[in-house]
Amino acid sequence: MDVKAIHMKGGVGETSYAQNSSLQMRVVNLMKHITLSTIVNLYIATTPTRLAIADLGCSSGPNSLTLIKQIIQSVDEACHRIDRLPPEFMVSLNDLVANDFYSIFLGLPEFYKMLKRSQSVFFAGVPGSFYGRLFPANSLDFIHSSFSVHWLSQVPKDLFDENGKCINKGNIYISLTSPPSVAKAYEKQFAEDFNLFLRFRSAELAFGGRMVLIMAGRAGRDSWGNGITFLWDVLAQAFSIMVSLGKVEEEKVSKYKTHFYTLCVEEIEEVVQREG
C-alpha cells in the first residue's frame, strides 16, 4: 500500500479534516488531564532545561497545536510553583509525507501570539510512518499520539486468499457477517504493527521519558457491535448503493478494505508484555 496516499484531507475547506475533527478534539479534551499531569510530573521529576516533545499522527488543522499550547502552559505553571525558569521546548509534529504540514505552520504566528512567548518554543515537521524510526536514539522526553495508532500500516494480507480474492466479501471492515478469520487477520496485523511502534519509540525516548496514547477501542475481544464498527457498515452499504446506481465499479468496491482496527485492553497488554 502506498502510504503517501493515506492521509487526512488537508486545507481548511468544507470537507477538510480541519473542519471535521471536533470529535477528535472532544476526546483529547476528555483525556487531557492525563496528558498534562504526565508531562508535568515528568518535568518536576527531571527539571530539564529542554523538553523534547513529539506528536505522532498530528494531521492538520487547529487540533495539532491546541494540546501543544496546553502542555507548554501547564509546564510553565509548574515552573512558577517551584520557582524555576521554564525550559526550552522542541516540538516535533509527525505524520505521513503527504500530510498538510503547511496549514499547521501557517497557524504558528497566532499560536505564538496566544502563548505570549516564542523565543524558547521551536517546531519541526517530521514526515514519515510511525511504524518506523523517526527520531535519533534517546532524543525525546515526551511522546503523544491521539486517534492515530488504531490506523494500521496496511490492510491485513490475510484478508485475501491464495488467488487474491477477499474473504470478507461485501464488507470493508469487521462485520457481523464476516468470517472469524477476518477478525483474526486484523488482530494479527495490529499486534505486528504495535510491536514495531513500541520498539521504535523505546529507542527514541530518553531514560525516564513518558508516552500517552489515545486510541479507538472496544470493551472486549468479542465486542464488534460498537459504534465505530457500525459506521464502517454504513459506509459499506453506501458503496453498495453507489454500485447499484452505476456510480462506482463493483470491482473497485470489492478491493476496498480499511486499515483501521479498534483494539481492546487485553490485546494492548499482550503486545506490551511480548515486546518487553
pLDDT in tens, 32-84: 899 999 999 999 999 999 999 999 998 876 767 888 999 999 999 999 999 99
pLDDT in tens, 126-156: 999 999 999 999 999 999 998 889 999 999 9
pLDDT at 2 > cutoff 50: no
Residue 190 neighbours by CB under 8 Å, 6+ apart: 152, 261, 263, 267, 271
What pLDDT is stored for residue 219 in this prediction? 83
Cell representation of residue 188: 494479527
pTM: 0.87
Contact 173, 232 (CB under 8 A): yes
Q: Which residues pair with residue 90 across a beta bridge? A: 52, 122
pLDDT in tens, 219-250: 877 756 566 778 888 888 999 999 999 998 88
Residue 110 neighbours by CB under 8 Å, 6+ apart: none
What pLDDT is stored for residue 75 in this prediction? 95
Compute the mean pLDDT over every residue in the chain, rounded to the nearest whole number. Answer: 86
Cell representation of residue 7: 492521509
Q: Which helix (H) or strand (E) holds 123?
A: strand 121-127
Q: Which helix (H) or strand (E) holds 69?
A: helix 63-81
pLDDT band at 1 (very low <50, low <70, confident <90, very high): very low
What pLDDT is stored for residue 157 in this prediction? 92
Instruction: Kindly state the DSSP code that residue 151 receives in the 8-state scheme.
Output: B
The stretch 7-28 carries a mean pLDDT of 59
pLDDT at 255 > cutoff 50: yes
Place of cell 521554564: 86
Instruction: Kindly state the DSSP code that residue 221 receives in the 8-state scheme.
Output: T
What pLDDT is stored for residue 114 in this prediction? 85
Place of cell 459506521: 231
pLDDT in tens, 91-128: 999 999 988 898 889 889 989 988 877 679 999 999 99
Cell representation of residue 131: 511504524
* Distance, CA of 169 to CA of 264 (rounded, Å): 25
Type of residue found at 217: G
Cell representation of residue 226: 460498537
Is residue 131 classed as helix, strand or coil in its secondary structure?
coil
Total H helices, total E strands in the chain: 8, 5
* Distance, CA of 270 to CA of 182 (rounded, Å): 20
Contact 56, 92 (CB under 8 A): no
Type of residue found at 100: D
Contact 133, 245 (CB under 8 A): no
